[in-house]
Amino acid sequence: MRKIIVAALIMSIMAIGLTGCSAKTEENNKIPPQKVTVMLDWFPNTNHSGLYVAKDQGYYAAEGLDVDIIQPSEGGNPQLIAAGKGDFAVSYQEEVTIARSQDIPVVALAAVIQHNTSGFASPVSKNIKTPKDFEGKTYGGWGSPAETAVLKVLMDKYGADINKVKIVNVGSADFFASMEKGIDFSWIFEGWTGIEAKTKGMDLNFIKPKDVYNILDYYTPVIIASEAKISQDPELVKRFMRATAKGYNFAIDNPEKTAAILIKNVPELNKDLVNASQAYLSKEYKADAPRWGEMKSEVWKNYAVFMYVYKLIDKNIQVEQAFTNKFLPE
């Protein structure tokens, strides 16, 4: 009889414990996901694929995050992020360096693409094969002083005179439309506009600044957050970056599936362009780095020195405050 009573007590205690666990699980399931915003730097494209994959495949949801990917608005992303107008954003090493030199407290969390795949493109008919050939030509840019500085350093190496280049601000005008309106060459991303030219059957000459000067092999684009966000909610940053890294690693391993996900989420994009671009970038996201997103101190230091020497920033920055790898998963 005593054994029966003891057994009954044990069963009662276990039942109470299981009920408590069940209640806790149910309570946890009722916790709403944390709202998070990510601002893009431009219209959606394959630079952003990892973000769309992480949302579409439920990687953010698995981290308890409800992520809203939004288009850029008025003002630079570092300024908006520092002001708390968003949680994370896509930016560029150049933009972050300028912000840090102006005491705007933003930090790069990951390099979206490991090497600088941008460069100066022109139709083959323009016969622009080296920076020397920029002389006598019209450059269509977006009005950044950095453009002039990069043009100058490239042309100096070839003994060319930047004063012989006509520089026109075309803003966000389409590369192909610009080429039909008197522009001879522009600065583009090979992985998007360069690929688009191939899909259109247009042959381009393409000059990569990093191939002329290694110092110009900087990180573009990067994912950023504010110092305040990092200090106040490091767990959020860790969860967001864990899911984002998973999204980009998926894009590295599955370019065709990734292209389909991006097209599903942004159906106005050209399917052929997205597929070709994704195939190209799948090899560039991580490239020779030990993991996606990892950044090197010397890359930040070298480019900051370049910007300071060419008076793109008024004071040099402490690069260890401008970027961090600590939120990247191992």
Q: What is the pLDDT of residue 4?
A: 42
Which tens digits make up the pLDDT trace of 24-34?
A: 434 445 679 99
Which tens digits make up the pLDDT trace of 299-308?
A: 999 999 999 9
Which tens digits make up the pLDDT trace of 150-170?
A: 999 999 999 999 999 999 999
Q: What is the pLDDT of residue 74?
A: 66
Residue 36 is which amino acid? V
The percent of residues above 90 in pLDDT, for the chain, comes to 85
Pairing of strands 185-189, 118-123: antiparallel
pLDDT at 8 over 80: no
Paired tokens of 222? 């990067």
- DSSP structure class, residue 76: -
pLDDT at 42 over 80: yes
Which tens digits make up the pLDDT trace of 76-119?
A: 899 999 999 999 999 999 999 999 999 999 999 999 999 999 99
Q: What is the pLDDT of residue 319?
A: 96
Closest-CA residue to 72 (of 106, 103, 101, 37):
37
Pairing of strands 118-123, 88-91: unpaired
Domains and CATH numbers, the chain: 34-115+219-322 (3.40.190.10), 118-216 (3.40.190.10)
pTM for this structure?
0.88
Paired tokens of 116? 């600088």
Tell me the pLDDT band of 173, cut-offs 50, 70 and 90: confident
Q: What is the pLDDT of residue 23?
A: 43
Give a three-class secondary structure readout of 193-215. HHHHHHHCCCCEEEECHHHHCHH
Q: What is the pLDDT of residue 122?
A: 97
pLDDT at 172 over 80: no
List, in order, residues 6 or more apart from 158 with CB less than 8 Å away: 130, 131, 132
- DSSP structure class, residue 294: -
What mean pLDDT value characterizes the chain? 91
Find the Cα–Cα–Cα–Cα dihedral 40, 265, 187, 214, rounded to 10°: 70
When computed from its CA atoms, the radius of gyration of the chain, rounded to whole angstroms, is 24
Mean pLDDT across the stretch 206-221? 95
Pairing of strands 118-123, 204-207: antiparallel
